[in-house]
Structure 1
Amino acid sequence: MSRFLTGLADARRARRPYGIVSVCSAHPIVLRAALRRAAKGKGPVLIEATCNQVNQFGGYTGMTPADFIAFVEAIAREEGVTRDKIIFGGDHLGPNPWRKEPAAVALEKAAGMVEAYVAAGFTKIHLDASMGCAREPVALDDRTVAARAAALCAVGEQTARRENLPMPVYVLGTEVPIPGGADHALDGVEPTAPSAARETIAVHRDAFAKAGLSDAFKRVIAFVVQPGVEFGSDNVVAYDPPRAAALSALLDREPALVFEAHSTDYQTQEALAALVADGFPILKVGPGLTFAYREALYALDLIASDIVPGYGDRPLLRAMEALMLAAPGNWSGYYHGDETALRIQRHFSYSDRIRYYWTRPEAERAVSALLAALDGVRIPETVLHQYLPMIAPTAADRPEDILIAAVDQVLAIYNSAAAERS
């Protein structure tokens, strides 16, 4: 299935571009929706884990790379998806989780993370060494970044050979939006300057050659640049093809490469299709999927409040509010305004910082109580239409199916945009 990724540049040159959706989430409902869709399709499903989410020490999910693959494979078996249809990717692999430590320590841990990802079976590796560590500038110069990326790549290459695994394909470059979206309203985002992208590619090519990794560089499929898409807490910057035209044209001089688009969440199908056509065929999405999950959960919370005697008045929302107030670390530095604005953002922000709380015991209990309250309850079609008008009554047999259908509607937009075009 890595051929699907290595064929992206060829397809663009042949004027038959196609894309692939990169599902960046560890949420079981999101993963189930993606795998259920994959079971019905012909192409692969790309599932990615990030350095903070999953690493050799457990990350904030508590999963190592091997744990994450086992977790996804268990859901895949239930959905009838064979292992050969799944591509596993590692996102932002580098010193970011340990950037407050000295560079030597952070980079040693980053090397251990790359080793753990490759050994576990991740085959798409995004190397990101752009951030400064303790007593370093916040942003590093291109040559330092490229040298560190090459050192991490060497670890990936050695691990794959030692474990007799397929050699990874790589994504390089670091000019990406803020992970999880910007923390303020945005009027616009400037695409990467073509000259900056050209320099980044050249510096990395040179660093890999000096490190004896020219063969690995041939397996670099994409560079991460900013095509001019982003989302803030309450607005989305839409893709504007003319503004990215000069950046896209750079690929004509680098025919073996494409660009990877981060933070494509909440873009329209037309915008996503334009990204694919313009050379940004790897469409990364995460918060947009868990946002759809939260929307459906909160709608079910309202439905149960209306039709299930004794359920209460929106207990799920109230439980999540109490949880986020008691543990504000995952949202307090990202949301701004008065108390009303903060409350709205905690629950409804495009940044979807609430996604970090769904695995907390308090949240799991509240979700379980909601699903139990609706288990076996027929939701009247008129009530379903009131709160979830986009969900067909035929998909409403079980509350879990409603949640999966809500996420799948987002995935359907991405899959349609990524489909091959002649």
Structure 2
Amino acid sequence: MSNYLLELSSARVKGTPFGITSVCSAHPVVLRAALRRASVAESHVLIEATCNQVNHLGGYTGMTPADFVDLVGRMADEEGLRRDLVILGGDHLGPNPWRKERAEDALAKARDMVRAYVAAGFSKIHIDTSMGCAGESVPLDDQTIAKRAADLCAIAEETARTAGLPMPVYILGTEVPVPGGADHMLDSVEPTSPEAARATIAIHREIFEAAGLHDALKRILAFVVQPGVEFGSDNVIVYEPPKAGALAAVLQDDDSLVFEAHSTDYQPEEALTSLVRDGFAILKVGPGLTFAYREALYALDMIASELVPSYGARALAMGMEKLMLEHPGDWQGHYHGDEASLRLQRHYSYSDRIRYYWNRPEAAAAVEALATVLEGRKIPEPLLRQYLPRHDLRDVAGMQDILIAAVDAVLGTYDRAARPHPV
């Protein structure tokens, strides 16, 4: 499975670059949409769990890596997708969930997390040790980051070898965007300088070599760099190829590498196509998919309010507002402004921090109540057009399929951008 990913660099060198969408979400509807799309196309699908969502202690989803593998495997079977076409990745594996603790404690937990991911069968491992822990300077220097990455890589190698599993491929880097997007308005984002990218690649290779990780060096698939894309709460910085030209040229130094682009959520298709053409072959998307899910869910909430007076006025949205106010930890500190601004951001921000609430029992019950109200009802086509104008849903039946169609529309943009592009 990871061998497919290693073809990304050779295709780039041959002048027919292609990319792959990295679906970074643990939401069941998002997962099913991605697996269904891959099943129809009989293509590979890359699904990644992040360190905060899924870890050996459960993460905010309550799932361990083994639980996540089981969930994805069952869904793949239900969608008729061969399991060998499913590539599983671990995203931002490092001390991030415990960065408020002392470095030695946070890194010990990171080692246990990496062991759990590799033992469960994740074959694409993004090691992210870029963040400082309690009492450390921010940002860390490249040498410290690389030494910590080598330590975690050694754990991954030992775990795979001992378990008789395929050896993982690795994503490394020091200039890693904050998971989940920025938490403020952005005017611009500067691409990583070519000098910084070359220095990062060189220091990792030097330290990995010194640590005896010769075999792992051959399986370093990509480095994370900043191509100049990001999204904040209210806006999106769109990729500008000329600004990233010098950075993209760094790949001419090495035929075995591509770049991984984080925070590509909400980029237009032309920008995603240009990213792939320029060597940013792995396109990571997460909040943009759950944002599409929430958009469709809130549209159905409005439709139910129109169709069934007893349902109430926007019962789901009102329920989510109550839930987020009662449990503010997942949005407070990330959203800023007066009360009116905070209310809008809680529901509609591009950062989509509402995604942290969908697995709570109160949210699940509200979604189920909406599904019950709509079950068996034919939604008039004009009403669908009023609230879901961007989707052709004439032949879609049922709330689940409408939600999947909304997520699939985003995935379709990525898949079209990722197709081979002569340069």
TM-score, with structure 1 as normaliser: 0.99
SS of 2:394's equivalent? Answer: helix
SS of 1:139's equivalent? Answer: coil
Map of 1:361 onto structure 2: 361
Using the TM superposition, give the Cα deviation of residue 396 of structure 1 relative to its aligned residue in structure 2, in angstroms. 3.1
Q: Aligned AA for 2:64?
A: T
Using the TM superposition, give the Cα deviation of residue 226 of structure 1 relative to its aligned residue in structure 2, in angstroms. 0.2
Using the TM superposition, give the Cα deviation of residue 137 of structure 1 relative to its aligned residue in structure 2, in angstroms. 1.2
**C-alpha contact (below 8 Å) 2:174/2:200 kept by paired residues:** no
SS of 2:293's equivalent? Answer: helix
CA RMSD of aligned residues (A): 0.9
SS of 1:310's equivalent? Answer: helix
Q: Does 1:161 align with 2:148?
A: no
Using the TM superposition, give the Cα deviation of residue 176 of structure 1 relative to its aligned residue in structure 2, in angstroms. 2.2
Q: Does 1:82 align with 2:82?
A: yes
Deviations 1:104-148 (A, max 9, x none): 221111111111100000000001111112221122111111011
Which sits farther off after the overlay, 61-70 or 74-83?
74-83
- Show the 5 A alignment for 1:82-101: 82-101=82-101
Map of 2:396 onto structure 1: 396
**C-alpha contact (below 8 Å) 1:51/1:93 kept by paired residues:** yes
Using the TM superposition, give the Cα deviation of residue 402 of structure 1 relative to its aligned residue in structure 2, in angstroms. 0.5
Q: Does 1:44 align with 2:44?
A: yes
Using the TM superposition, give the Cα deviation of residue 421 of structure 1 relative to its aligned residue in structure 2, in angstroms. 2.1
Q: Aligned AA for 2:419?
A: A
Which sits farther off after the overlay, 185-194 or 137-146?
137-146
How many residues end up aligned between the 2 structures?
A: 422
Map of 1:133 onto structure 2: 133
Deviations 1:67-112 (A, max 9, x none): 0000111111111112101000001111111112222221111111
Using the TM superposition, give the Cα deviation of residue 182 of structure 1 relative to its aligned residue in structure 2, in angstroms. 1.1
Q: Aligned AA for 2:292?
A: A
Which sits farther off after the overlay, 129-138 or 231-240?
129-138
Deviations 1:8-44 (A, max 9, x none): 1111111100000000000000000000001011321
Q: Aligned AA for 2:206?
A: D
**Unaligned 5+ runs, structure 1:** none
Deviations 1:53-79 (A, max 9, x none): 111111111111000000111111111
Measure, in 1, the Cα distance between the counterparts of 2:401 and 2:340. Answer: 33
Using the TM superposition, give the Cα deviation of residue 374 of structure 1 relative to its aligned residue in structure 2, in angstroms. 0.3
**C-alpha contact (below 8 Å) 1:39/1:79 kept by paired residues:** yes
**C-alpha contact (below 8 Å) 1:375/1:398 kept by paired residues:** yes
Map of 2:198 onto structure 1: 198
Map of 1:233 onto structure 2: 233
- Show the 5 A alignment for 1:176-255: 176-255=176-255
Map of 2:326 onto structure 1: 326
SS of 2:311's equivalent? Answer: coil
Map of 2:267 onto structure 1: 267
Measure, in 1, the Cα distance between the counterparts of 2:60 and 2:51. Answer: 9
Measure, in 1, the Cα distance between the counterparts of 2:393 and 2:71. Answer: 31
Measure, in 2, the Cα distance between the counterparts of 1:120 and 1:50. Answer: 14
Map of 1:347 onto structure 2: 347
Map of 1:24 onto structure 2: 24
Measure, in 1, the Cα distance between the counterparts of 2:339 and 2:218. Answer: 52
Measure, in 2, the Cα distance between the counterparts of 1:296 and 1:111. Answer: 39
Map of 1:276 onto structure 2: 276
Using the TM superposition, give the Cα deviation of residue 322 of structure 1 relative to its aligned residue in structure 2, in angstroms. 0.4
**Unaligned 5+ runs, structure 2:** none
Using the TM superposition, give the Cα deviation of residue 379 of structure 1 relative to its aligned residue in structure 2, in angstroms. 0.2
SS of 2:385's equivalent? Answer: helix
Using the TM superposition, give the Cα deviation of residue 395 of structure 1 relative to its aligned residue in structure 2, in angstroms. 3.9
Measure, in 2, the Cα distance between the counterparts of 1:309 and 1:397. Answer: 22
Measure, in 2, the Cα distance between the counterparts of 1:137 and 1:301. Answer: 46
Using the TM superposition, give the Cα deviation of residue 411 of structure 1 relative to its aligned residue in structure 2, in angstroms. 0.2
**C-alpha contact (below 8 Å) 1:395/1:401 kept by paired residues:** no
Map of 1:417 onto structure 2: 417
**C-alpha contact (below 8 Å) 2:131/2:138 kept by paired residues:** yes
TM-score, with structure 2 as normaliser: 0.98
Map of 2:58 onto structure 1: 58
Measure, in 1, the Cα distance between the counterparts of 2:300 and 2:277. Answer: 38
Measure, in 2, the Cα distance between the counterparts of 1:179 and 1:107. Answer: 18
SS of 1:373's equivalent? Answer: helix
Measure, in 1, the Cα distance between the counterparts of 2:105 and 2:327. Answer: 29
Using the TM superposition, give the Cα deviation of residue 272 of structure 1 relative to its aligned residue in structure 2, in angstroms. 0.2
Using the TM superposition, give the Cα deviation of residue 177 of structure 1 relative to its aligned residue in structure 2, in angstroms. 2.1
SS of 2:310's equivalent? Answer: coil
Using the TM superposition, give the Cα deviation of residue 154 of structure 1 relative to its aligned residue in structure 2, in angstroms. 0.5
Q: Aligned AA for 1:220?
A: I
Measure, in 1, the Cα distance between the counterparts of 2:221 and 2:306. Answer: 51
Measure, in 2, the Cα distance between the counterparts of 1:195 and 1:214. Answer: 24
Using the TM superposition, give the Cα deviation of residue 5 of structure 1 relative to its aligned residue in structure 2, in angstroms. 0.6
Deviations 1:274-294 (A, max 9, x none): 000001010000000000000
Give aligned-pair identity as a percent: 66
**C-alpha contact (below 8 Å) 2:24/2:286 kept by paired residues:** yes
Using the TM superposition, give the Cα deviation of residue 46 of structure 1 relative to its aligned residue in structure 2, in angstroms. 0.3
Deviations 1:292-325 (A, max 9, x none): 0000000000000001241111100000000011
Map of 2:124 onto structure 1: 124
SS of 2:343's equivalent? Answer: helix
SS of 1:385's equivalent? Answer: helix
**C-alpha contact (below 8 Å) 1:89/1:125 kept by paired residues:** yes
Measure, in 2, the Cα distance between the counterparts of 1:42 and 1:370. Answer: 33
SS of 2:290's equivalent? Answer: helix
Measure, in 1, the Cα distance between the counterparts of 2:170 and 2:91. Answer: 10
Using the TM superposition, give the Cα deviation of residue 341 of structure 1 relative to its aligned residue in structure 2, in angstroms. 0.8
**C-alpha contact (below 8 Å) 1:65/1:120 kept by paired residues:** yes
Using the TM superposition, give the Cα deviation of residue 167 of structure 1 relative to its aligned residue in structure 2, in angstroms. 0.3
